[in-house]
Amino acid sequence: MNSYKMKVLYTGVGAKKDGLHTEQEFLAIMNKEFTWKNWNEGEGKRDLATIVQLLHQLQFKDWILPDDFAFFTLNDWVEYSGAEITS
């Protein structure tokens, strides 16, 4: 029996301290922090730096974000977040 377990190295928002996550843990973080995030929270009360940061987070390839987060694959999330798949 192969006991190989893929790990995702991710140290961004919502990550564990050591940065190592199972695929399921990583996808749960991505859903919590991005897919299910209320992108309209604080609308009208944001400063310019916050607006620029949000616009940067919502640009990725030809995707229409945040709506298309629901269609991301593991590889899309890894690329979007800057994570790495490790063994």
pLDDT in tens, 47-67: 889 888 888 889 999 999 999
0.75 exceeded by pTM: yes
pLDDT in tens, 18-33: 999 999 999 999 999 9
- Rounded to an integer, the average pLDDT of 74-79 is 97
**What are residue 21's phi and psi, to 5 degrees?**
-135, 150
Residue extents of the structural domains in the chain: 7-86
pLDDT exceeds cutoff 60 at 11:
yes
pLDDT band of residue 69 (cuts 50, 70, 90) is very high
- pLDDT for res 3: 53
